[in-house]
Amino acid sequence: MASETPSYKKDDPRIINGWSMFDWANSAFALVITTAIFPGYLENVLDDEFLFLGINMKNSAILGFSISFAYLIIALSLPLLTGIADYGGKKMPFMKFFTRLGGLACFALFFFVSQDTMWIGLTGFILGVIGFAGGQVFYNSYLPDIVTEAKYDEVSARGFAFGYIGSVILLVFNLIMITFPETFGLNNLIGEPGSFFGDSPGALAARLSFIMVGIWWIGFSQITFNRLPVAKDQKLSSDILSKGYQEIKKVWRELKTRVQTKRFLIAFFCYSAGAQTAIFLASIFAIKELGFETSELIIVVLILQIVAIAGAYLAANLSKKLGNKKVLIGILFIWTAICIIGYFVEGKTNFYILAAGVGLVMGGVQSLSRSTYSKLIPEDTKDTASYFSFFDVLEKVAITLGTLTFSLLDQQSGMRASILGLSVFFILGIVILSTVKSERLMPKR
């Protein structure tokens, strides 16, 4: 098996910062488009209900179904892609491909202006999600390649912190542009209804934000591409199309003898279905149930992101004292409480407070899950891309299940039932994670 890591020194600050800049680059899509601006824009552009493939669809549910579809595609293709990447030394080419795909998809969203162009909006959004999720798996798989185990938690948290800070900077600028479009001369660009610029100044500002995300994403990722180690390409054999799935099967066979790692992955699957869905669809909940405007929603997201930075570092520091397992279980209890409170929440002020709680545990659960899995991978493993492919396939399938469950409940019983339903995923995660036993997850003595 070809390794992607040529000779270089681990724990190199320049390489670590370069790796972290990828989070800075692509987190703009997750925050600005997926969480803050696109849900509100979609709500304003589309009818409340419409026929879609012969089904009477709510505009809130179509967002969840789109996310489910995108992550299903990623889950099915990642075993192939990451197997090839590890076998042929191609982590970097795939990171570049998905980055370009996602960035160009952001540009396409500019042309989503009405119900008639919904197909452009949904296609662009789905391809953007695929670009984001696809690049993320190769980014994650670099972690054990560039740092020693003692720094997994710290560097993982740094990556998320870079992502939160970078995306917040861009989001603040977008908020100013959406709130004061006349300052940027956007009032003068508005034409007749149905024309290329035939929408409100605020809507045009939102569409320009989509383009800015694409530029930000592709631009800042160049720092990562220039600093991360790249292996020499290996000659690929004729059976390469099956190599990726063979590697996943190999990981699965190895996991059968590693009970604790397998238990963690099952727990991770359960709570990821809840956490990732809540992160993706909390915005549409605030819009539909509590009447948030786009500018108000951006403020909510800013609170969430700023608190998430502290949450990521807090989780990393607590893990040194209490161990990864105890901290993760504590985080999942908080997530469960958030879902229950969310079912009853009324008023915008209360939702601002709830968003702060989400931010605190959002940073912790993402950062600590990645570093915990890194600790549970066998220490002598060279083909880390295949192990992280398995990890990321589970996460993508979990997101597919979670967002699909959320959207189906929304269609049948409303969004509050959807929020409450997510608590089941966290409770299952707590129960299964409590059975995991590993010295590597205990605090260092």
Residue-by-residue pLDDT tens, the chain, 445 positions: 344 444 568 888 899 999 999 999 999 998 888 888 888 888 888 887 777 777 788 887 888 889 899 889 988 887 777 666 666 567 888 889 999 999 999 999 999 988 888 899 999 999 999 999 888 878 877 887 888 877 877 888 788 788 878 988 998 898 888 888 888 777 766 655 545 555 678 788 889 999 999 999 999 999 999 998 876 655 555 565 566 677 777 778 877 777 888 888 999 999 999 988 888 888 888 888 888 887 788 788 778 777 877 887 788 788 888 888 888 999 999 999 999 998 998 888 888 888 888 888 887 887 788 778 877 877 766 666 667 778 878 888 998 999 899 888 888 888 888 889 999 999 999 999 988 876 656 556 5
Q: How many CB atoms lie within 10 A of CB 417?
A: 13
Q: Is the dihedral of CA 157, 364, 132, 177 positive or negative?
A: negative
- Quick one: which of 152, 105, 109 has its CA closest to 131? 105
Distance CA 275, CA 6 (A): 36
Looking at the domain that runs over 13-227+248-441, which CATH code has it been given?
A: 1.20.1250.20
User: Which runs of consecutive H residues, i.e. helices, occur in 291-383?
Assistant: 294-322, 324-344, 348-376
Tell me which H or E stretch contains 58. strand 55-58
- Return the pLDDT at 441: 61
340-357 burial, b if ≥16 CB within 10 A, otherwise e? eebeebeeeeebeebbbb
- Return the pLDDT at 442: 58
- Return the pLDDT at 87: 61
Instruction: Please report, as a single letter, which amino acid is at residue 337.
Output: A
Structure tokens at 161: 């912190």
Contacts of 14 (CB under 8 A, 6+ apart): 227
CA distance to 126, 169, 184, 200, 203, per residue, from 187 (Å):
30, 24, 8, 8, 11
Bridge partners, 318 (sequence order): none
- Return the pLDDT at 197: 56
Chain position carrying tokens 């036993």:
437
